[in-house]
Amino acid sequence: MVLAVFSCRTYSLPHLLRLGFLTKQPLSLLCSGLRIRGLSVLCAQSRPRAMASSSSSWELPLVAVCQVTSTPDKQQNFKMCAELVREAARLGACLAFLPEAFDFIARDPAETLRLSEPLGGNLLEDYTQLARECGLWLSLGGFHERGQDWEQTQKIYNCHVLLNSKGSVVATYRKTHLCDVEIPGQGPMRESNSTIPGPSLESPVSTPAGKIGLAICYDMRFPELSLALAQAGAEILTYPSAFGSITGPAHWEVLLRARAIETQCYVVAAAQCGRHHEKRASYGHSMVVDPWGTVVARCSEGPGLCLARINLNYLRQVRQHMPVSQHRRPDLYGNLGNPLP
Catalytic residue among 94, 159, 179, 217: 217
Largest CA distance in the chain: 60
Cα–Cα distance, 113 to 221 (Å, whole number): 26
Region for 170 from its dihedrals, namely left if φ exceeds 0, alpha if ψ lies in -120 to 50, beta otherwise: alpha
Cα–Cα distance, 127 to 74 (Å, whole number): 12
43 is catalytic: no
Cα–Cα distance, 19 to 275 (Å, whole number): 34
Positive or negative: CA dihedral 214, 273, 75, 71: positive
Catalytic residue among 87, 100, 117, 235: 100
Cα 297 versus chain centre, distance:
12
166 is catalytic: no
Catalytic residue among 175, 211, 235, 273: 175
74 is catalytic: no
Active-site residue list:
100, 175, 217
